[in-house]
């Protein structure tokens, strides 16, 4: 249990940094969904470009983060050498990839339907190179369990990003449009470009990410740029399959938002363009990311934990317990968030047009829970060095994602995208479990976990379709349903374990 407590402690620290950071970042959601500040078209552009950035970041890192973890445990006496090699590799490849993006900026903007906006590609080329380069120092912090430093730097980055966005989009734009401090218009005349909107978000991201290079400079200066091709070959053999798996995984996550404008038929929504419809979908994803925060925090803590636990006698039993606790907590998150969307919409979504995406949220939350369960189950091919299974399993799921989106978006719009995500992550979870039981069997409490998920979904459906007109009464009953789930957990799990412990 002490190991579970250590994992829980690290998860809390990573979780607090991620949740607090995203909570701060969520302050931007009302800004982005205020059409006086950022148009629906710009919101759609933001979502589309960031979706493509998600694909490219996987290309920039190509599995080296996981390879770094593996080789630190495989060669404990060569930790600094492994660190130097991975850093050198990502520095050279990052510069190369960014030069390619900059060179092809014009055809890229034409593909994205952003003609004349090459400066956006230039900024993102720099952002991606920085992100890839600093991913290894952050991975080193995770491996060394320096979770507090990791969390502090991530929080500082988000605070700076939010501050810059507010400075450009609220303060400077507010002065320019006469909302606030019109006597300071000389400031906007000097540094504010009224033709820029979404561009200021990209610029803020670039400045905030550059902060990492400054803060990490003392550590980075200790790295000698040197390429040991014998070690690099081993890193690539291990890491590239992971990179392919991550690429397929990001396809599952971002394909719909990257290709949505291309797949949605013209005039599918009479009152929305394809980019505006994408903005509705993307903001539903952002609200659903409330559960993704927990999944991400868990992944940060669990990946190095699972590697260290692999050689322990009780390792498999620990994996099973972690899976069960995660499933119960995830099911509760689906219930709690879904039954409070009528409150969240007033806080996060300023324009009512974005409320049209609220019915997508329970679907997206459930999809993300299966993604989290997949992270639990995927430990088998990592600790047994069968990493080639990763790209095979996730690749099959990516094919399902592509086919589902291509078939469903043209006939169901953004509902088709949400269903495609659920189908993909459920399939990935099932395939990973089945193959894992063959090569690295773990007695996961699958049936009991699914029962708790089913209970949460039933309570969600009951609360969602309550035939009550009074908003206050309806919301009060929804909170009762949330408390009912917690009561069941206490009655059938916590109290039962407590009684068993006392009897022992």
Q: What is the 3-state secondary structure (H, E, C) of 22-81?
A: HHHHHCHHHHHCCCCCCCHHHHHHHHHHHHHHHHHHHHHHCCHHHHHHHHHHHCHHHHHH
Q: Is 493 helix (H, G, I), strand (E, B) or coil?
A: helix
* Residues 256-302: tens digit of each pLDDT: 888 888 898 888 888 888 888 888 898 888 888 777 766 766 666 66
Torsion on CA atoms 43, 47, 48, 51, rounded to nearest 10: 170
Alpha helices (runs of H) in 62-180, residue ranges in sequence order: 64-74, 79-103, 105-111, 118-143, 147-165, 173-176
* Whether the predicted model's global pTM rises above the 0.85 cut: no
Query: What local confidence, expressed as pLDDT, does residue 10 receive?
Result: 59
Query: What local confidence, expressed as pLDDT, does residue 501 receive?
Result: 45
Low pLDDT (below 50) residues in the chain = 1, 498-504
CB atoms within 10 A of CB 191: 8
Query: What local confidence, expressed as pLDDT, does residue 311 receive?
Result: 60
Going by C-alpha positions, the residue among 396, 353, 390 that lies closest to residue 374 is: 390
Rounded to the nearest angstrom, the gap between the alpha carbon of residue 393 and the centroid of all alpha carbons in its chain is: 20
Q: How far apart (Å, rounded) are the C-alpha atoms in residues 48 and 26?
A: 18
* Residues 449-503: tens digit of each pLDDT: 999 999 999 999 999 888 888 888 999 999 999 999 999 988 887 655 544 444 4
> What letter would DSSP give residue 92?
H
Q: Rounded to the nearest 10 degrees, what angle do helices 64-74 and 118-143 cross at?
A: 20
Query: What local confidence, expressed as pLDDT, does residue 321 receive?
Result: 85
Query: What local confidence, expressed as pLDDT, does residue 339 receive?
Result: 92
> What letter would DSSP give residue 181?
-
| Cβ contact 176:193 at 8 Å | no
Q: How far apart (Å, rounded) are the C-alpha atoms in residues 71 and 305?
A: 15
Q: Is 273 exposed, middle or buried (0-12, 13-18, 19+ CB in 10 A)?
A: middle
Torsion on CA atoms 59, 60, 62, 67, rounded to nearest 10: -160
Structure-block tokens of residue 316: 């498999």
């Amino acid at each position: 249990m002490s190991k579970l407590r250590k994992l829980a402690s690290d998860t809390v620290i990573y979780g607090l940094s991620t949740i607090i950071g995203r909570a701060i970042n969520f302050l931007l959601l009302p800004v982005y969904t205020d059409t006086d500040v950022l148009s629906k078209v710009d919101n759609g552009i933001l979502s589309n470009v960031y979706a493509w950035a998600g694909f490219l970041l996987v290309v920039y890192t190509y599995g080296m983060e996981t390879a770094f973890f593996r080789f630190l445990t495989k060669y404990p006496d060569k930790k600094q050498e492994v660190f130097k090699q991975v850093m050198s590799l990502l520095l050279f490849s990052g510069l190369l990839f960014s030069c390619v993006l900059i060179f092809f900026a014009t055809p890229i903007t034409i593909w994205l339907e952003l003609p004349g906006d090459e400066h956006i590609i230039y900024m993102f080329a720099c952002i991606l190179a920085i992100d890839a380069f600093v991913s290894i120092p952050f991975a080193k912090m995770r491996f060394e369990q320096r979770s507090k430093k990791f969390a502090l730097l991530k929080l500082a980055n988000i605070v700076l990003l939010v501050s810059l966005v507010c400075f450009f989009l609220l303060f400077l734009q507010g002065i320019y449009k006469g909302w606030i401090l019109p006597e300071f218009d000389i400031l906007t005349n000097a540094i504010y470009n009224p033709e820029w909107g979404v561009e200021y978000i990209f610029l803020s991201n670039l400045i905030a990410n550059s902060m990492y290079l400054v803060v990490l400079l003392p550590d980075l200066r200790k790295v000698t740029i040197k390429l040991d091709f014998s070690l690099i070959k081993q890193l690539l053999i291990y890491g590239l399959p992971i990179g392919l798996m991550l690429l397929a995984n990001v396809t599952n996550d971002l394909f719909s938002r990257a290709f949505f404008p291309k797949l949605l038929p013209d005039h599918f929504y009479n009152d929305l363009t394809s980019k505006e419809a994408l903005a509705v979908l993307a903001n539903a994803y952002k609200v659903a990311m409330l559960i993704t925060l927990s999944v991400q925090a868990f992944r940060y803590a669990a990946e190095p934990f699972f590697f260290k636990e692999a050689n322990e006698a009780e390792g498999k039993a620990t994996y099973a317990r972690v899976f069960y606790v995660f499933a119960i907590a995830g099911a509760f998150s689906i219930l709690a968030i879904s039954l409070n969307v009528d409150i969240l919409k007033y806080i996060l979504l300023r324009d009512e047009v974005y409320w049209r995406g609220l019915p997508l949220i329970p679907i997206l939350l459930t999809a993300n829970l299966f993604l989290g369960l997949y992270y639990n189950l995927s430990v088998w091919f990592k600790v047994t060095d069968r990493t080639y299974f990763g790209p095979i399993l996730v690749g099959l799921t990516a094919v399902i994602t592509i086919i589902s989106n291509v078939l469903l978006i043209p006939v169901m719009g953004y509902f088709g995208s949400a269903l495609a995500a659920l189908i993909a992550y459920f399939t990935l979870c099932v395939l990973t479990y089945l193959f894992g039981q063959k090569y690295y069997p773990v007695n996961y409490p699958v049936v009991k976990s699914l029962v708790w998920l089913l209970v949460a979904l039933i309570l969600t459906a009951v609360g969602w379709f309550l035939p009550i007109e009074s908003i206050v009464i309806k919301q009060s009953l929804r909170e009762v349903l949330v408390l009912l789930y917690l009561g069941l957990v206490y009655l059938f799990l916590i109290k039962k374990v407590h009684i068993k412990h006392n009897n022992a």
